[in-house]
Amino acid sequence: MNQALIKTSFKFPGLKSVYKGKVRDVYNINNQLLVMVVTDRISAFDVVLPKGIPYKGQVLNQIADKFLDATSDIVPNWKIDSPDPMVTAGRLATPLKVEMVIRAYLTGHVWREYNAGKRKICGVSLPQGLHEHDKLPESIITPTTKASFGHDEDLSREEVLSAKLVSEKDYLQMEEYTYKLFQRGSELSAKHGLILVDTKYEFGKIGDEIILIDEIHTPDSSRYFYSDGYEERQARGEEQKQLSKEFVRQWLIERNFQGKEGQVVPYMPDEFVRQVSERYIELYEKIIGERFIREKTGNVEGRIYNNINEFLSLYEI
């Protein structure tokens, strides 16, 4: 089993603070730059699982890096450079308190809510008679708050505005960007035989400018179906062939874990960890359309540290 990077503890010139997310370790350099190290940690149901997934951080970072470049004409983003296969560095922005989740299919969380009897989700009414993985009549935005700990909270547009989490002007701009980004992501995915099922976008502000921050179109933030055979599988009521973290969630559900109080994360055998790693690599090769080059996993921390320091040496901080 290859080594997985599950934590970092770097000291850089000008370091002001470090934020440890579920997957990413984010270094604030002199309140000017953010250096985001994408570790091999994996989370499900808002819980960080005990084992890391080799190459997962590299996969996530390199997919996000390519999609940030491929959508920069739609919305400005935070990225300056990717100094290491597991690192993105960019502009520091003030995060907006709402994540924009957009869905084109009745899958995952929204299916579980629908299957439990709900017909209005995040203020959006859904028709009767839908089945799991059906394409929705139109793509819907189901915004959520960004929780520091525990589960994020689903909200309607009206709840976002009444709570004044963001201004109406900013929210409408975020909506417009979300639809356009999702359209671009869907078009790029279709070229490689995939359907972009759902995803989330995070935005921040630098002054009055809204920019796209964090990752984009990765298997941690998105679901993908294989387009080949989708209609046939749906007509037969079969499971869709998909590339996402959903199979990890299903594996946990089958072992009585959904992140609820009192539940214990099941043991993750090495073979399961290897399978998850291969699924992430498969997604990279499918969505990007090129072979994944596995970086050496020996002394990953040293390599990352040196590459970040080289990047920072280019800036007067």
Residue 283 phi, psi (nearest 5)? -65, -45
Q: What is the pLDDT, as a whole number, of residue 151? A: 47
End-to-end CA distance of the chain: 39
Cβ–Cβ under 8 Å, residues 220 and 84: no
- In tens digits, the chain (317 residues) has pLDDT values of 578 999 999 999 999 999 999 999 999 999 999 999 999 999 999 899 999 999 999 999 999 999 999 999 999 999 999 999 999 999 999 999 999 999 999 998 899 999 999 999 998 999 999 999 999 999 999 999 865 444 457 888 999 999 999 999 999 999 999 999 999 999 999 999 999 999 999 999 999 999 999 999 998 889 999 999 999 999 999 999 987 787 898 999 999 999 999 999 999 999 999 999 998 998 899 999 999 999 988 899 999 999 999 999 988 65
Give 37-42's long-range contacts (Cβ < 8 A, gap of 24+).
37/8, 37/10, 37/86, 37/87, 37/304, 37/308, 38/64, 38/86, 38/87, 38/88, 38/215, 39/5, 39/6, 39/7, 39/8, 39/86, 40/4, 40/5, 40/6, 41/6, 41/7, 42/245, 42/248, 42/276
Cβ–Cβ under 8 Å, residues 42 and 52: yes
Query: 7: helix, coil or strand?
Result: coil
Q: CA-CA distance, 70 to 264, in Å (whole number)? A: 40
Chain-centre distance for alpha carbon 10: 24
Tell me, which fold does domain 95-246 have in CATH?
Answer: D-amino Acid Aminotransferase; Chain A, domain 1 (3.30.470)
**What burial letters (b/e) apply to 200-217, b meaning 16+ CB within 10 Å?**
bbbbbeeeeebbbbbbbb
pTM of whole model > 0.75?
yes
Query: 192: helix, coil or strand?
Result: coil
Q: What is the pLDDT, as a whole number, of residue 149? A: 41
Per-residue CA distances from 229 to 60, 83, 241, 242, 300 (Å): 26, 39, 9, 11, 40
Residue 103 is which amino acid? R
